[in-house]
Structure 1
Amino acid sequence: MSKPTPLSGFPEWLPAQRMIEQNVVERIRSTFELYGFAPLETRAVEPMDQLLRKGETSKEVYVLRRLQEDPANQKDDALGLHFDLTVPFARFVLENSGKLQFPFRRYQIQKVWRGERPQEGRYREFLQADIDVVDRDSLPFHYDAELPLVIGDAFRSLPIPPATILVNNRKVCEGFYRGLGLEDPDEVLRTVDKLDKIGPAKVGELLATLGASAAQVDAVLRLAQISTADASFVDEVRKLGVDNDLLNEGLGELVAVVDAANEHAPGLIRAELKIARGLDYYTGTVYETQLQGYERHGSICSGGRYENLASSGNERFPGVGISIGVSRMLGLLFGQSALTVSRSVPTAVVVALPSEELRGRCDAVARSLRSRRISTEVAPSAAKFGKQIRFAERRGIPYVWFPGADGEPDTVKDIRSGEQVEADAATWAPPAEDFVPSVQGV
């Protein structure tokens, strides 16, 4: 078999990176559960009509079909891989509403797939960590303010640079555009959402093609420039001279989110009135998140409120959710060598092998250590002890265990400090910090 060509957009981390990912996921999961979110995993595929009914996603969905399937016989219920976890969650709620207690708080940590152009931090297959709260008929607004606080705690538990959650409310934007007299506020929202990618001049040109006058374009761009760490954005909006009931409602909701964050986690949130989010199912609060030093790469954590995504007939389950792009965040940090792990394997102890005849005895030592949750392996061959120590050093394994000869007691050596002491496999344990590999930020 010839050397395979890597597939772009499908990250495969090295073992040390994978251990960092597992550590990060565990800290996120633990934070989610501290706030009472219950675990959930949904299937990888959804009917295409469900995947395509909200937002500009048709170009990103991977279609699932059998290799030998005749295209002429394809049915209307074609399947696609899910591109986020919110759409399948909404479907799950509708299917299981009779079995769930509301408000329902859940977290999901799963892979998703998007057919977009791979680049640094952007992949076709990636891991997301989502939290959502849904309720029947109506959802109290205080959840919009709670979710950023959960994410803030999750980020503070990680060895990463500080994060800032940018927050807006689509009612602010839509109400402002309606107050200006723009006829298609949804299309204006989608256009403004491209501001960071194409710049204000290009956005202005696109708005003009939608029928916006020069004065309307100027007002839209001035709204998008408003950015404050407190509720002073209200005064900035009022200065633009636009009045609309939906705008006023959105400003009130946005103030509530910003004030709650400033009370409980000062510095976590900034009101950023250019944030729109491209998915059409968002109806109110929207979030994006920047990592300090990585702002040019865009958001690593996004979400918002949706009123009608989970609805069928007279049943409606509004919700609010936010999603950490785990692979996206780690890809950016790995690219800058910004995260390290104390060792490249889980092993804490290598049992040195004096000779092949003593392998059984060494295996017994390893079993005793493992019975107390100490990750242990036996040296691969009966080489000189110096070579076996170097085997441990190369992988960052901190301890080497030496079976005693001729009735002498066993000893264990910390190869970092050189300290070597007598030890009994039934009672010895490493310090707590050496039980598992530790992850540090650079």
Structure 2
Amino acid sequence: MARPKPLSGFPEWLPAERILENHIVETLQRTFELHGFASVNTRAVEPISLLAKDGEIDKEIYAVSRLHGEGTADAKNPLGLHFDLTVPFARYVVENAGKLAFPFKRYQIQPVWRGERPQEGRFREFYQADIDVVGDGELPAHFEAELPLVMAEVFRKLSEIGVPPIRIQVNNRKLLEGFSRGIGLSDVQPVLRALDKIDKIGPDAVGRLLAETAGADAEQQRLCLALAQIEGDDVSFADEVRALGVSHPMLDEGLEALTALIATAQQRAPGVVVAQLKIARGLDYYTGTVYETLLQGHEDLGSVCSGGRYDSLASEGDRTYPGVGVSLGISRLLTRLVNHNLVTVSRSVPTAVLVAVADEGQRGLADAIASTLRSRGIPTDVSPSAAKFGKQIRFADRRGIPFVWFAEDADSHQVKDIRSGEQVAADPGSWTPPEADLKPLITAAG
């Protein structure tokens, strides 16, 4: 068989990297549940008409069809793989509204698919972790402050294993829209899309884009770019906005909401959440607060955690379900940790003990020892062959397994720490490895 060529954009992690990924997922689950979020899971496919109705994502959707289908059903209702978890969750809420208690807090950790050009941190298939709060008809604004603070707690815990600190940048789409209308630009979407690209193409190019797509004159361009430069981790940023001399009711509403969020964050996680008025987010379904999160010292990676408020994405007739959500790109975060050697995993397997086999006639004894250790919560494997003990020890060493168990008979046992060479008598019914060796140890590199 010829060696298959890898498919770019579809990551497949090595065992030690999967241990790190699982640790991140477990930290997310534990933190989300501590804050009252319930787990849900949604299907991988949605009608393309649903996926493509908001934002500039339609060109990146993977279509799904049967190779030998009749064609007519697929043609009438073409399906696509979901590119995020917010759109399918909104559909899930509408379909299950009668069974949910609102406000409904959910978390969801699943793969998503996006047909974009692969590069570091950007994949065609990747794992994402979302938290959302959805209301029935209304949703209190305090949830817009709660969600980024939950993610800040996640990263505080992950910093214990070497994940860099974060900076959560926040803005409000109402502030941006009100500002645009206040300076005479009534076609708001081109303004938002232009400002959202300022880090990629620079202020001069954004100014030209504002002129081309939004019809902005020189003064309007100047004001938009001046707004985009405003940032701050305390409420004083609002004074800089007012100093620009623009007025509009929607601007006032957005500025008030953003100021309240920053005030809350300043109390609970000072310095982590920052007002950054160039942030707009590309998806059109956002209507209020928006978030982007950067790893400090690794800003070139782009946002690892983003989201915002949406008021009309989930609706049925006259009934609407406003929500606010944040998505963390697990695969994007993991690739930076792995490719830049920021984190070390002590072993590539969960196994803490390898039971040696003196000869094949004693394999039953070795299996019984392993069963006893496993029953006590100690991850244990049995040597695959009755090779010389030196070879069995090397087998354990290559995998990072710290202990090898030897048994002459049912009553004579010894366990060896192959790192130090210390070997002691042991009883499988009572011996326990040190807590640090029970699971693979994940620490900051270097």
Query: What TM-score, normalized by structure 1, do the two folds share?
Result: 0.97
Q: Which residue of 2 is the match for residue 171 of structure 1?
A: 174
Q: Which amino acid aligns with 1:426?
A: G
Deviation at 1:70, TM superposition (A): 6.4
| Correspondence list, 1:200-219, <5 A | 200-210=203-213, 211-219=215-223
Deviation at 1:71, TM superposition (A): 6.1
Supply the distance in 2 between the matched residues of 1:242 and 1:93 (Cα, whole angstroms): 38
Q: Which residue of 2 is the match for residue 117 of structure 1?
A: 117
Q: Which residue of 2 is the match for residue 157 of structure 1?
A: 157
Q: Which residue of 1 is the match for residue 276 of structure 2?
A: 272
Supply the distance in 2 between the matched residues of 1:111 and 1:72 (Cα, whole angstroms): 28
Q: Which residue of 2 is the match for residue 417 of structure 1?
A: 420
Q: Which amino acid aligns with 2:332?
A: R
Q: Which residue of 2 is the match for residue 437 of structure 1?
A: 440
Q: Which amino acid aligns with 1:5?
A: K
Counterpart of 1:404 in 2: which secondary structure? strand
Supply the distance in 1 between the matched residues of 2:56 and 2:281 (Cα, whole angstroms): 11
Counterpart of 1:157 in 2: which secondary structure? helix
Q: Which residue of 1 is the match for residue 23 of structure 2?
A: 23
- Structure 1 residues 361, 298: CA separation in 2 closer, same or farther (over 3 Å shift)? same
Q: Which residue of 2 is the match for residue 2 of structure 1?
A: 2
| Correspondence list, 1:34-73, <5 A | 34-69=34-69
Q: Please state if 1:186 is matched with 2:189.
A: yes
Supply the distance in 2 between the matched residues of 1:267 and 1:351 (Cα, whole angstroms): 50
Counterpart of 2:170 in 1: which secondary structure? strand
Q: Which amino acid aligns with 1:277?
A: R
Q: Which residue of 2 is the match for residue 263 of structure 1?
A: 267
Q: Deviations over 1:167-206 (max 9, x none)?
A: 0001111111100101211121012111111111211111
Q: Which amino acid aligns with 2:442?
A: V
Q: Which residue of 1 is the match for residue 352 of structure 2?
A: 348
- Structure 1 residues 408, 33: CA separation in 2 closer, same or farther (over 3 Å shift)? closer
Q: Deviations over 1:128-168 (max 9, x none)?
A: 00000001000000000111111011111112010111000
Gaps of 5+ in 2: none
Deviation at 1:72, TM superposition (A): 7.2
Q: Deviations over 1:58-105 (max 9, x none)?
A: 111000111134667743311100000000000000000000001100
Query: What TM-score, normalized by structure 2, do the two folds share?
Result: 0.97
Supply the distance in 1 between the matched residues of 2:72 and 2:365 (Cα, whole angstroms): 66
Q: Which residue of 1 is the match for residue 230 of structure 2?
A: 226
Supply the distance in 2 between the matched residues of 1:24 and 1:64 (Cα, whole angstroms): 30
Q: Deviations over 1:196-240 (max 9, x none)?
A: 111112111111113110111111111111111111111111121
Q: Which amino acid aligns with 1:382?
A: A
Q: Which residue of 2 is the match for residue 317 of structure 1?
A: 321
Q: Please state if 1:301 is matched with 2:305.
A: yes
User: Please, which of 374, 389, 394 is the counterpart of residue 393 of structure 2?
Assistant: 389
Supply the distance in 1 between the matched residues of 2:278 and 2:300 (Cα, whole angstroms): 15
Deviation at 1:409, TM superposition (A): 2.1
Gaps of 5+ in 1: none
Q: Which amino acid aligns with 2:117?
A: R
Counterpart of 2:285 in 1: which secondary structure? coil
Q: Deviations over 1:367-412 (max 9, x none)?
A: 111111211111122222222112111111010101035x762011
Q: Which residue of 1 is the match for residue 131 of structure 2?
A: 131
Question: Which deviates the most, 35-44 or 387-396?
Answer: 387-396
Supply the distance in 1 between the matched residues of 2:344 and 2:417 (Cα, whole angstroms): 21
Supply the distance in 2 between the matched residues of 1:440 and 1:316 (Cα, whole angstroms): 45
Q: Which residue of 2 is the match for residue 195 of structure 1?
A: 198
Counterpart of 1:230 in 2: which secondary structure? coil
Q: Which residue of 2 is the match for residue 90 of structure 1?
A: 90
Supply the distance in 1 between the matched residues of 2:190 and 2:123 (Cα, whole angstroms): 26
Counterpart of 2:408 in 1: which secondary structure? coil
Q: Which amino acid aligns with 2:85?
A: L
Supply the distance in 2 between the matched residues of 1:93 and 1:136 (Cα, whole angstroms): 10
Supply the distance in 2 between the matched residues of 1:308 and 1:298 (Cα, whole angstroms): 27
Counterpart of 1:127 in 2: which secondary structure? strand
Counterpart of 1:205 in 2: which secondary structure? helix
Q: Which residue of 2 is the match for residue 374 of structure 1?
A: 378
Deviation at 1:53, TM superposition (A): 1.0
Q: Deviations over 1:313-371 (max 9, x none)?
A: 11100000001100011112211011221110011000111111211111111111111
Supply the distance in 2 between the matched residues of 1:390 and 1:72 (Cα, whole angstroms): 60
